[in-house]
Structures are given as structure tokens and as C-alpha cells.
Amino acid sequence: MRKKNPLFLICINLFMIKNFIYAQVLDKPYQIPGEIYVGDSGKLVFPLDDFFLNTNNGGVTWEEAPDGSVTILAAEINRNAGNITVTFQAWRTGAVMFPAIIIGGEKLSGLQANINSVLEKEGASIALLPQKEPLAAPGAFWIISLFVFIIFIFAALVVFVIIYGKNIYKILYDSSKVRRPRARVMRSIKKLKNKLKKDRIQTGEFLAAICREFRVFISILHTIDCYALTPNEFYGLNIAGRRRLSAFLSSADEMRFSGRERGKDEALVFADEMEKEVERQCGVYTRASFNGAGGESAKDAPC
């Protein structure tokens, strides 16, 4: 009897061991690649029994994972190898359960894969940050809208101040300049009226006193010494409202120097008109300041 070659026997044994190991592997599910990380696509090969392999009614479908931990991309049956290959993507680490796979109307459940995390590998120094509040939290839209509205108002205010700030300051300054002489002349006319009502002053003295107070008011208001000016000379002044002022002073001189004796009631009515004229002169001065009236433009200001 011829002896067999030892090398041939070794090859036969290795081939048998390989087939045995391969058969053992095919009887168990396995992953491709061996380590699958969160977010990566991978494959799970799962052995099927004859019940599913012999089912010819329809194709392969699957359900959606209720917790969203895994997404099945494809599923294919290899009847020669007796298994099914499921292509998937997993979204969390650990043992991930697959939703039911439907083969010919029958459900195949119990499939699972082990998913790794890059951050959990030994030596990894990356750490996850704590979860942030979502931008679309309740009320976030209104908070952002309010913030944008406040910024818009602030920007508009800044532009307004840059453009009109100088004029506003001038108006406020002129208003404060008018306030004090107005209060002074109004207070003086009121005191004189009370004296006239109580017969503590003559009508002629009363008219002279209120006209003097009015001319002092005009001098302070326009910073011009106009105490001794005639009504016609007022018309030539470079001030706003000069025509009306000249006409009013003409009527005042007529009240004083017409030669006709004026009664108390008539003098009090004239004092009331003078108070109204003080208010009008203040208004004309303020409007002229607002419009920037000065020089020739002041001459053309409303009277």
C-alpha cells in the first residue's frame, strides 16, 4: 500500500477546518464591517431558516424604528447562502434593535447590531457638550422680533439725533429764552391790572406802565434796545413779526396820546389784548427759530 504524501494530508485538514469555521460563521449573524460607528452605514448578515427562504409571496419590506435609533436603507435575501443582508445606519451606541422586516408577508424580528462611538474609544479626548436649548423654544420668535424692533428704534433715534439734534437743541434753547421774559411781563401786567381795579393807579399811568413793560419784553426777546423806538421804526427792524408788532404799538400810542380820556374798562380790555400779543410774539419767535429764520428770512417771517 502506497503511503500518502504528508503535505497532501495537511492541506486536506486545513480545508476541512476552514469549511467548518465558515459553516459556523454562517450560522450566526455578523456585521460588515466588524465595528460600525454612529452615523456610518453598515451591513448586518442574518441567517434565515427554510420558512423564510422558501417564501415566494412578495418581496422584502420593513417597518420604521419607533425610536428612530436605526434607519434601514436596503434588505436583500441571498437564497444560496441562506441569509439576508440588511444595509442600515444607526444613530445611537450600544445594542440597537431593528424594526421588523417583512418577507413575503411574514415578519422577521429580533435583529440587532452593536454600534460603537468614536468618543468612547480608548484614548479619545473629545467630550460632548451639554445639550443646548433649541432655538425654536416657545416664545423665541417673539423675543427675537422684540430684540430686532428695539435695535431698529434705537438706530432710527440715533439717525434722528444726528440729523436734527442741532435744530432741536436750538429750539429748546430758544424756548427757554422766551419763557422767562414772558413770565415777567405777564406777571407785571397782572399786578398793574389788579392795581387799576382797586383804583390804586390812574388809567393814564396804567397804560404807560403796561406799554413800558411790553417794550422791555420785546427788547429782551430780540436782544435789541427798542424802548425808545417809534412804531414805524419797529417796521424796519430785522426781527420776525415786525409788521404786526409795529401795528400793535401804533394802537398802544393811540390809546395813550389820542387826547381822549380812557375809561378803566377800556384800559383793562387793552391790557388783555397786550397779553394776547405777548403770546403771539412768543409763538412767532419760536416758529422763526424752528425754521432758522434770520437776516433777510427773518424779515419775511409771518407777522
- pLDDT given for residue 29 in this prediction: 77
pLDDT over 60 at 282, yes or no: yes
- pLDDT given for residue 296 in this prediction: 36
pLDDT over 60 at 293, yes or no: no
Q: Where in the chain is the domain with CATH 2.60.40?
A: 6-117
Average pLDDT of the residues in 107-122: 75
Q: Which secondary-structure segment (H or E) carries 243?
A: helix 242-257
Q: 52: buried, middle or exposed (CB in 10 Å: 19+, 13-18, 0-12)?
A: buried
Torsion of CA 20, 21, 26, 28, to 10 degrees: 120
- Examine residue 99 and say whether the peptide bond preceding it is cis (omega within 30 degrees of 0): no
> Is 288 within 8 Å of 298 (Cβ atoms)?
yes
The CATH code that applies to domain 6-117 is 2.60.40
- pLDDT (tens digit, 9 = 90+) per residue, 218-246? 888 877 877 778 888 877 777 777 788 88
E-state strands within the chain: 30-32, 36-37, 41-47, 60-62, 70-78, 83-90, 94-97, 101-103, 106-108, 112-116
pLDDT over 70 at 301, yes or no: no
Higher pLDDT, 8 or 301: 8
CA-nearest of 60, 67, 68 to 85 is 60
Average pLDDT of the chain, as a whole number:
75
- pLDDT (tens digit, 9 = 90+) per residue, 14-39? 555 544 444 444 467 778 877 888 87
- pLDDT (tens digit, 9 = 90+) per residue, 195-204? 989 989 888 8
List beta partners, residue 85.
45, 76
Where does the pLDDT of residue 151 fall: very low under 50, low under 70, confident under 90, or very high at 90 and above? very high
- Percent of the chain whose predicted confidence (pLDDT) is above 70: 73
Strands 112-116 and 83-90, sheet pairing: unpaired
- pLDDT given for residue 22 in this prediction: 43
Chain center to CA of 71: 41
